[in-house]
Chain A
Amino acid sequence: MLELDGLRRQFGEVRALDGCTFRVEPGRMVGFLGPNGSGKTTAMRSIFGLLRLDSGEVRWQGAPVTAEVTRRFGYMPESRGLYPKMKVRDQVEYFASLHGANRADARAQADHWLQRLGLEDRVDSTVETLSHGNQQRVQLAVSLAFRSDLLVLDEPFSGLDPIAVATMGEVIRDEAARGAAVLFSSHQLDLVEDLCDDVVIIDHGRVVLAGRLDEVRAASPFRYVEVSGPAALGSWATRVAGAEVMRRRNTTLRVRVPATTDPAVVLETVRAEGGVEGFRFEPPTLSDLFMEAVR
């Protein structure tokens, strides 16, 4: 298990990390969310000792992370980095061997992952000749190529087409199923919601929400009512205690109500307004949680 414990780091006037604390358990996919500049990348870099912390500690299996330990971690940094003139297979092999694989194993791993990611035809191409999406696949292969105990992926899906996103998502899920702890950041909240088991939301360098996705959704003090049809346009929301209109689009209205609200009562109030084509009463989506947490 990876533990980030009270991480603090100041860059000049900016508090990049301000007591950031959370954990990533083996076999779990953890979605790491936060607005731009909230400290996600700084936190991820600190896991690899890529920057000095003002205070706090990163632990793996209860002990401080050392160079020997990070060798068993896979990392896909936000700023992608590969040798442009090195061949794809050589590249993956090289990083696998840096992580301790022997030559035959490094080769086997490289071939396995490149095939899995659909790059088997490009193994002898240099990286600079690949498209952006394919370079990103190579980058993922590099971080996967040594059966990591922990995968840290900074925005792995950014800039990918839906098919590539699906392939990558599947590959990462399989790694978690194998027992790896996976921490990945993304701004694509629907995607994260589909993929992750746990969620950590960070803002201004501190964690504002963390836990199992289903639990944090259930634990939210709010529920969301979505109504479509003529009734949606009425003033029913003003008659529900604590209700706040979140979004109005065509004939659909999304309203946030306190979690204690009785859905039957809400439905009654709406129906009194007119015809109802659709009615949903649900815990917050990840997107709702995110907005609640960082606003």
Chain B
Amino acid sequence: MGPLKPVWLVARREVIARLRTKAYRLSTLALVALAVGGVAAVRVLPSFFEDEPPRIGLAPTAAVIRESLQQAATAFGEEIVLSEFTSVQAAQAALAAGDLDAVLVSPDSLLFQEEADPTVQALVGQAAYLATLPERAAAVGITLEEARALIAPPTVETSLVSPPEAGDEAVDDGDRAIAALTTILLLMALTFYGQWVLIGVIEEKSTRVVEVLLATLAPWQLLVGKVLGILLLAVAQIAASVTALVVGLLVVQDIEIPALAATSVAMGVTWLVLGLLLYNFLYAAIGSTVNRPDEASSASFPLMVPLMAGYLGGLIFIPDHPDAPASRVLSLFPFTAPLTMPSRIASGGGSAIEVAIAMALTVVTIGLVIWAGSRIYTGAILRTGKVGLLAAFRGGREVG
């Protein structure tokens, strides 16, 4: 039996044992539901928030300003729906029935049901103004062109006191949302699966099954097997969720996917795997130093510091400043990179070289963490009582 066979056996046991638990099934179901629900929400929600364009009925005498009204709406960037009626009565009846929001009785007479819409008022005013311009120009004896020149607003030069610095390019709202969402999901995944590793290691220690295991296995085999098993489970859950998301999007079809989304998902998954490897070995090392499950959260508190720094950076700062110096530092520092680099990429920052450097640094750090984590784990797992990380590290040559 080669040294990797036991690693695989440990990982397999971890996978089988957890696949059977209600917690795993429910969390998988929840992730799939979240993906499907997300698609549904994007599809349905906007219609609740977007105002329907105002519907204006034109009585016969008002039809003359139809074109001007359309021009005014275009000029102000407003959308309106116009319909012509053969009589004022017919238009009023449609207003009363709620099929119209306003009736233009004549170019200078506007009718609403209960409440006046200031947008419609302004548009009609502007339209009437435009429609009567030739008439009024003729009255004062100037040409239409002269009248237009007269009323054209002077050009106002606009400048900024503090123009945005390089790296603060405006970020598209869709990309910003993806950046934030990726960061949130990454933090959830890292802490969620980290807890599995933490609790799993503490359980093995507190039930003393670890002594039976270590009589056969080297500590690193047990450690790596456990982390890999949970990584496999995590990837399976994420894959189920992403599949549900893609299928949902294909079914719905008409959702506009931001251009960077595909890259974001690929990057997000890559960084998720790197982040899980990095943090799960740390969680395992910390788990080996405590004895009871209730000590887990206080023992793992130190890990929350880089996690929260990466999370807040990736969620709040980076989407607006993807290439600012602080963003660069956060996305290159191995312990925050998994949470911040995907956010930078989604926000349109981070060159390919920076991504490559961040990945290389993280991979090297994972190697170091496996080494140090194994040593802490080895030094602590068979000791009872609270063991300091440093003492565990020093004692790490005790076993195997």
Contact = CB atoms under 8 A, between A and B. Distances in A.
A49 interface: yes
B207 A84 contact: yes
B210 A81 contact: yes
A67 B378 CA distance: 15
Contacts of A75: 211-212, 215-216
Contacts of A143: 212
A281 interface: no
Interface stretch (B323-331, B348-356, B392-400): B392-400
Contact of B207 (A49, A70, A73, A83): A83
Given A82-B209, A83-B207, A94-B9, A77 B215 contact: yes
Contacts of B204: 83
Interface string B213-257: 111111000000000000000000000000000000000000000
Interface residues of A, number: 30
A50 B213 CA distance: 11
Interface of A is mostly: loop
Contact of A50 (B13, B17, B399): B399
Given A81-B208, A83-B207, A97-B9, A51 B215 contact: no
B215 A70 contact: yes
B392 to A, nearest CB: 14
A78 B260 CA distance: 58
A99 B9 CA distance: 10
A250 interface: no
Interface string A18-49: 00000000000000000000000000010011
B9 A67 contact: no
Contacts of B13: 94
Contacts of A85: 17
Interface residues of B, number: 25
B209 A48 contact: no
B209 A67 contact: no
B399 A81 contact: no
Contacts of A94: 9, 13
Contacts, number: 69
A98 B9 contact: yes
A49 B398 CA distance: 8
B398 to A, nearest CB: 5
A97 B400 CA distance: 20
Interface in B10-32: 10, 13, 16-17
Given A94-B9, A94-B13, A97-B9, A81 B211 contact: yes
Contacts of B398: 51-52
Contacts of B209: 81-83
A95 B399 contact: no
Interface in B328-348: none
A280 interface: no
Nearest to A82: B209
B208 A79 contact: yes
A85 B225 CA distance: 19
A100 interface: yes
Contacts of A97: 9
A143 B209 CA distance: 12
B110 interface: no
Contacts of B397: 52
B382 interface: yes
B139 interface: no
Given A67-B218, A97-B9, A83 B211 contact: no
B215 A50 contact: yes
A132 interface: no
Nearest to A154: B211
Nearest to A67: B218
A83 B216 contact: no
Given A50-B399, A52-B399, A77 B208 contact: yes
B399 A49 contact: yes
B384 to A, nearest CB: 9
B1 interface: yes
Contact of B211 (A77, A84, A86, A95): A77
A142 interface: yes
A76 to B, nearest CB: 8
A77 B17 contact: no
Contacts of A77: 208, 211-212, 215
A71 interface: yes
A112 interface: no
Interface in A78-121: 79-86, 90, 94-95, 97-100
Nearest to A47: B215
A75 B211 CA distance: 9
B216 A81 contact: no
A154 to B, nearest CB: 10
A50 B398 CA distance: 7
Nearest to A102: B1
Contacts of B17: 83, 85-86
A95 B208 contact: no
A48 B215 contact: yes
A262 B25 CA distance: 79
A73 B215 CA distance: 8
A85 B397 CA distance: 31
B212 A95 contact: yes
19 contacts: A45-B211, A48-B214, A50-B211, A50-B214, A50-B215, A50-B399, A67-B400, A71-B1, A71-B216, A81-B208, A81-B209, A81-B211, A82-B209, A83-B209, A95-B212, A97-B9, A98-B9, A98-B10, A98-B217
Given A71-B1, A99-B216, A142-B212, 8 more contacts: A45-B211, A51-B382, A51-B399, A67-B400, A77-B215, A82-B212, A98-B9, A100-B1
Closest 5 CB pairs of A and B: A81-B208, A81-B209, A75-B215, A48-B215, A79-B208
